[in-house]
């Protein structure tokens, strides 16, 4: 980069490059022979314990469950306290109040009921007979219900059980049909959702279901109404509220998609108020082909998450898209009983999906989401009813998730934090900490569809830089990120898909990939390029078009070139994320740096700023830095 090694760049310029795509073959590998020697590389990443569940008893008191650990907060997620669980693996967290927490613990020896009366500091466990780990619900410390899973207990599958002594004993209850979901309160009032027993002669039962009500704790049930349709029914969740009830029915699944239908108690019947049919999962469940009533609003995403009602007429629904980037999550809200729902767009720069019981809205304005998809999971919080979201776990401290570039070994810039895709960040300590210094002036952002694998941050100097916003427009700063203004090149629309600038050399590719420009003087002037290929663009800008480096890059399907710290050095990423190779003689010979065999590394950017300091960025893991020439890399997150 310009600030510490401009002389060699001005004279000649040698590049390093990354590879992502096809596997190595003898014919493509020949362009890089001979390999001098193999150097093992160590990758240091913080140990992660993936989150499994989330629950909040009040807007400020809640818990996160991971394998063997529980994280408790009493200040709304600003701080979490780690509680060792000594062998317990908690899921299905059910808080009764700020001190009482009931959960299920799964192990190879079977399921257990785990009960805490001191805020999760300690638990009493009791075996769950018949593997009652399905739809376990408690409304008081003593009264609970559970359903035996049909796949693990074929003879008892769908049997509803009741306990009145905190899970010490369970009594089977007679239901009209096998139960899929239950919610009964302390007064004995509630509902079950059932499905006909599936037999070889009754395959049509997969698309049928029924709602039943009880007024005496499950001793007897009365039919509310039945549903049927071509869509498969595979599960359900029931949520009771004062003077009402909401039910989400899970449909078929396939191609990373699932169909679903949300029903609400309207008068004396459950009626559909939100539904999603997908190509991979089939029709929404419980909707007949002959449905001619008022059109049912379409649910968000391509995969159902959870319905979380606030009242009989107000509710939040979480949906996701597993195939979008690393997964995206959308939240929609109704305030009129499902007649209309708020516009649902994916939460900006939030990667991962909210599956199952991973959302909580303890008040009308405050809500929490656990996004599973990152290595450890990310927890987001809203304080305005879902309009804006902020990451609070693994850390409330910000760090860029969309793109970043180090300008010097200490100074770097990045863009995007969960919930705010256009926030601009700066680090002055090699990525150990980041601070938000501004925001791109984006007025019409495009719906978030996951992080881009292309570079969207480019700083040729500490003060001058470019960032592509969530509207695909290019913005420029000349004061170190304090102010950004729209930037457009002659003949261009101002929209871009990628930008890469290293020292004086760089390029911009237009949003549609039809035009590209390159610079050889740090962006003072831009020239319309003959190619839109990133390899050709950087090679042309840096005067490397006729060297062996771009030839080897194309042979390995590399997606960009990165300049090295000296005239005769460079490196590139191997396919399958197994390591990278470096050259010190313009591509005539190479060294191979191999990653540990059990670590899958995906970098979208990498560059050595000095012979010993280099950085790499991953939209999945964040920033990596090395201070010993690449033999060891440390993940800054």
Q: How confident is the model at residue 304 (pLDDT cuts 50, 70, 90)?
A: confident
The answer to whether residue 292 is domain-embedded is: no
Spatial separation of the C-alpha atoms in residues 416 and 527, rounded to whole Å: 29
The most distant pair of C-alpha atoms in the chain lies apart, rounded to whole Å, by: 88
Q: Flag whether 535 is in a domain.
A: yes
434 pLDDT above the threshold of 60: yes
Helices H, strands E: what count in the chain? 4, 48
79 domain-assigned: no
Please report the pLDDT score of residue 611 as a whole number: 86
Q: Are 449 and 346 in contact (CB under 8 A)?
A: yes
146 forms beta bridges with 161
For residue 328, being part of any structural domain is answered with no
What is the band of 199 on the pLDDT scale with cuts at 50, 70, 90?
low
pLDDT digits 0-9 by tens, 127-185: 888 767 667 899 999 999 999 875 444 456 789 999 999 999 999 999 999 999 999 99
Phi-psi region of 490 (alpha: psi -120 to 50; beta: other; left: phi over 0): beta
Q: How confident is the model at residue 305 (pLDDT cuts 50, 70, 90)?
A: confident
Residues 6+ apart with CB under 8 A from 292: none
Confidence of residue 634 (pLDDT cuts 50, 70, 90): very high
Band (pLDDT 50/70/90 cuts) for residue 46 is confident
CA distance 301 to 279: 13
Per-residue pLDDT tens digits for 221-270: 999 999 999 999 988 999 999 999 999 999 988 888 889 999 999 999 99
587's CB contacts (< 8 A; 6+ apart) are 32, 547, 548, 549, 551, 552, 570
Cβ proximity of 541 and 518 under 8 Å:
yes
- Using the predicted structure, report yes or no on whether residue 356 has a pLDDT greater than 60: no
Q: Is the pLDDT of residue 31 over 60?
A: no
Tokens 């009209």 belong to which residue?
Answer: 176
CA gap 300, 346 in Å, rounded: 9
Residue 4 has pLDDT above 50, yes or no: no
- In this prediction, residue 35 carries a pLDDT of 60
Task: Give the pLDDT score at 291.
Answer: 66
CA–CA gap between residue 508 and residue 333 (Å, rounded): 40
Kindly tell me if the per-residue pLDDT of 337 is higher than 70: yes
Helix 534-541 and helix 548-555, axial crossing angle in degrees, nearest 10: 170
pTM: 0.84
Cis peptide before 223 (omega within 30 of 0): no
d(CA 466, CA 457): 6
Identify the pLDDT of residue 24: 36
Averaged pLDDT for residues 546-551:
78
- Tens digits of residue pLDDT in 483-501: 999 999 887 788 999 999 9
pLDDT score at 1: 37
Cβ 410 vs Cβ 462: under 8 Å: no
CA distance 52 to 395: 17
Q: What is the predicted pLDDT for the residue at 7? A: 33
Cβ count near 491 (within 10 Å): 10
Indicate if the pLDDT at residue 5 is higher than 80. no
DSSP 190-233: EEEEE-PPP-TT-GGGGGEEEEEEESSTTS--EEEEEEE-SS--
- Domain span at residue 422 reads 6-46+397-635
Q: Average pLDDT of the chain?
A: 84
Higher pLDDT, 295 or 526: 526
* Confidence bin at 352 (pLDDT 50/70/90): confident
DSSP string, 142-202: S-EEEE--TTT-TTTTT-EEEESSTTS--EEE--SS-EEEEEE-TTS-EEEEE-PPP-TT-
As a whole number, mean pLDDT of residues 24-32 equals 41
**Number of domains making up the chain:** 1
Give pLDDT, residue 320: 85
Enter the tokens of residue 568: 């005769």
* 141, part of any domain: no
pLDDT at 636: 87
Does 560 map to a domain? yes
Partners of residue 334 on adjacent β-strands? 315
The single residue listed with the structure tokens 């860029």 is: 400
pLDDT digits (tens, 9 = 90+) for 437-485: 999 999 999 988 887 778 899 999 999 999 999 999 999 999 999 999 9
Q: Does the residue 547 lie in any domain? A: yes
What is the model's pLDDT at position 23?
A: 34
Q: Determine what percent of the chain is predicted with pLDDT higher than 90.
A: 51
Has residue 450 been placed in a domain?
yes
- Say if residue 569's pLDDT is above 70: no
Q: What is the pLDDT of residue 559?
A: 67
Cβ-proximal residues to 337 (8 Å cutoff; 6+ apart), any chain = 264, 266, 273, 312, 313
Q: Please give the average per-residue pLDDT across 406-425, as a whole number.
A: 95
């Amino acid at each position: 980069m310009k600030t510490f090694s401009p002389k060699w760049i001005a004279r000649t310029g040698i590049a390093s490059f990354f590879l992502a795509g096809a596997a190595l073959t003898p014919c493509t590998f020949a362009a890089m022979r001979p390999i001098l020697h193999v150097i093992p590389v160590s990758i240091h990443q913080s140990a992660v314990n993936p989150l499994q569940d989330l629950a909040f008893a009040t807007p400020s008191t809640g818990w996160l469950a991971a394998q063997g650990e529980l994280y408790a907060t009493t200040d709304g997620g600003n701080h979490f306290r780690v509680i060792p669980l000594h062998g317990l693996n908690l899921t299905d967290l059910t808080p009764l109040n700020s001190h009482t927490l009931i959960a299920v613990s799964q192990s190879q020896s079977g399921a257990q009921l785990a009960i805490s009366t001191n805020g999760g500091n300690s638990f009493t466990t009791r075996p769950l007979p018949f593997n009652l780990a399905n739809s376990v619900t408690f409304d008081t410390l003593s009264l609970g219900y559970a359903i035996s899973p049909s796949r693990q207990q074929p003879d008892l599958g769908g049997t509803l059980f009741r306990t009145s002594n905190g899970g010490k004993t369970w009594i089977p209850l007679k239901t009209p049909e096998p139960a899929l979901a239950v919610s009964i309160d302390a007064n004995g009032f509630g509902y079950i959702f059932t499905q006909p027993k599936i037999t070889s002669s009754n395959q049509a039962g997969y698309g049928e279901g029924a709602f039943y009500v009880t007024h005496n704790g499950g001793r007897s049930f009365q039919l509310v109404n039945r549903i049927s349709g071509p869509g498969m029914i595979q599960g359900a969740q029931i949520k009771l509220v004062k003077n009402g009830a909401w039910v989400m029915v899970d449909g078929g699944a396939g191609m990373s998609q699932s169909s679903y239908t949300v029903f609400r108690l309207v008068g004396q019947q459950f009626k559909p108020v939100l539904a999603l049919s997908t190509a991979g999962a089939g029709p929404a469940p419980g909707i007949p082909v002959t449905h001619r009533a008022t059109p049912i609003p379409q649910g968000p995403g391509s995969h159902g998450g959870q319905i979380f009602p606030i009242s009989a007429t107000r509710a939040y629904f979480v949906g996701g898209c597993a195939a979008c980037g690393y997964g995206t999550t959308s939240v929609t809200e109704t305030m009129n009983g499902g007649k209309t729902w708020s516009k649902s767009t994916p939460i900006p720069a939030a990667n991962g999906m909210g599956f199952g019981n991973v959302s909580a809205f303890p008040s009308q304005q405050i809500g929490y989401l656990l996004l599973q998809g990152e290595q450890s999971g990310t927890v987001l919080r809203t304080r305005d009813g879902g309009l804006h979201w902020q990451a609070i776990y693994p850390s409330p401290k910000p760090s860029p998730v969309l793109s970043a570039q180090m300008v010097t070994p200490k100074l770097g810039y990045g863009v995007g934090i969960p919930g705010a895709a256009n926030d601009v960040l700066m680090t002055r300590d090699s990525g150990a900490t980041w601070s938000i210094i501004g925001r791109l002036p984006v007025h019409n952002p495009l719906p978030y569809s996951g992080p881009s694998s292309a570079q969207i941050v480019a700083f040729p100097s500490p003060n001058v830089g470019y960032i592509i916003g969530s509207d695909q427009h290019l913005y420029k700063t000349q004061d170190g990120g304090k102010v950004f203004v729209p930037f457009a090149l002659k003949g261009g629309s101002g929209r871009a898909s990628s930008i890469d600038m290293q020292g004086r050399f760089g390029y911009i590719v237009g949003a549609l990939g039809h035009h590209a420009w390159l610079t050889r003087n740090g962006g003072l002037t831009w020239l319309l390029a003959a190619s839109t290929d990133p390899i050709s663009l950087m090679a042309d800008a840096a005067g490397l078009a006729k060297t062996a480096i771009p030839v080897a890059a194309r042979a390995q399907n590399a997606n960009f070139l990165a300049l090295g710290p000296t005239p005769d050095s460079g490196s590139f990423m191997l396919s399958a994320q197994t390591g990278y190779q470096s050259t010190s003689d313009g591509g005539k010979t190479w060294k191979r740096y191999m990653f540990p065999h059990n670590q899958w590394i995906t970098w979208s950017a990498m560059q050595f700023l000095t012979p010993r300091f280099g950085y790499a960025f991953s939209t999945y893991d964040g920033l990596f830095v090395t201070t010993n020439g690449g033999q060891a890399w440390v993940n800054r997150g």
